[in-house]
């Protein structure tokens, strides 16, 4: 892949881990955005997962950046907060909740160091309720903010002059094993999971 292939006008990035409860918020946001809205040329919607520094060339190649993530703001669970511009690196470097967050803070720092930080940045973050439920899905209070979070991103894209259009029929990863509906339908009960894990994630023990 040449460096030109990393270039885009706007990168909309969801980061996090679907397998750790509310850590999956960012990924679920871009999943919903891609399923519900059609993007114009120049706008890339990307599941960044836990890729850390592998995301650097994509961030360096973007003029504008929107990031969805679970962020510990020290607020009530489910609280949604916008952070813009120069404040984004500070909040990405707030209380670390996972390895992916440390990795993305390094991505932002490296892009800045190389003089290739996006000119405009927006962080759409939610205060998580629970992270250490391995194999878990979003808690209801966090899941309830998906629509609002996507609406914030759509509004920002419109303000920047990008004509996003609602899809007549939804597309995307909803029918795959990790799509939200299929993933939640296959989740074992709290009792059988013993609140410590999910056999689909942890595998056989013993």
Give all domains of the chain, ordered by start, each with its CATH number: 3-170 (3.40.50.1450)
**pLDDT at residue 52 in the model:** 82
CA distance 115 to 111: 6
Closest to 120 (Cα-Cα) out of 151, 92, 156, 91: 156
Select the more confidently predicted residue: 100 or 48. Answer: 48
**pLDDT at residue 97 in the model:** 53
pLDDT greater than 70 at residue 191: no
- Identify the top-confidence range among 2-6, 22-26, 178-182: 22-26
Tell me the H-state helices in 1-126: 25-36, 56-60, 87-92, 99-113
pLDDT greater than 60 at residue 95: no
- How crowded is the C-beta side of 167, counted as CA atoms within 13 Å? 13
What is the band of 65 on the pLDDT scale with cuts at 50, 70, 90?
A: very high
Strands 80-84 and 43-49: what pairing?
A: unpaired
Buried-state track 182-191, b at ≥16 Cβ within 10 A, e below 16: ebeeebeeee
pLDDT greater than 90 at residue 86: no
Instruction: Tell whether pTM > 0.85.
Output: no
The tokens describing 181, both together, are: 């509906």
């Amino acid at each position: 892949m040449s460096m030109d292939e990393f270039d885009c006008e706007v990168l909309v990035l969801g980061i996090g881990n679907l397998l750790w409860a509310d850590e999956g918020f960012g990924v679920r946001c871009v999943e919903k955005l891609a399923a519900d809205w059609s993007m114009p040329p120049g706008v890339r919607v990307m599941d960044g997962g836990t890729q850390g520094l592998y995301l650097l060339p994509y961030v360096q190649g973007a003029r504008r950046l929107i990031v969805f993530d679970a962020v510990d703001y020290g607020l009530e669970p489910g609280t949604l907060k916008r952070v813009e511009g120069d404040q984004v690196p500070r909040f990405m470097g707030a209380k670390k909740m996972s390895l992916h967050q440390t990795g993305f803070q390094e991505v932002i720092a490296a892009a800045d160091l190389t003089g290739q930080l996006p000119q405009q940045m927006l962080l759409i973050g939610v205060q998580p309720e629970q992270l250490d439920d391995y194999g878990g899905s979003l808690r209801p209070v966090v899941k309830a903010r998906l629509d609002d979070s996507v609406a914030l991103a759509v509004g920002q894209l419109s303000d920047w002059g990008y004509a996003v259009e609602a899809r007549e029929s939804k597309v995307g990863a909803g029918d795959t094993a990790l799509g939200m509906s299929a993933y939640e339908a296959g989740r074992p009960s709290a009792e059988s999971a013993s609140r410590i894990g999910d056999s689909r994630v942890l595998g056989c023990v013993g």
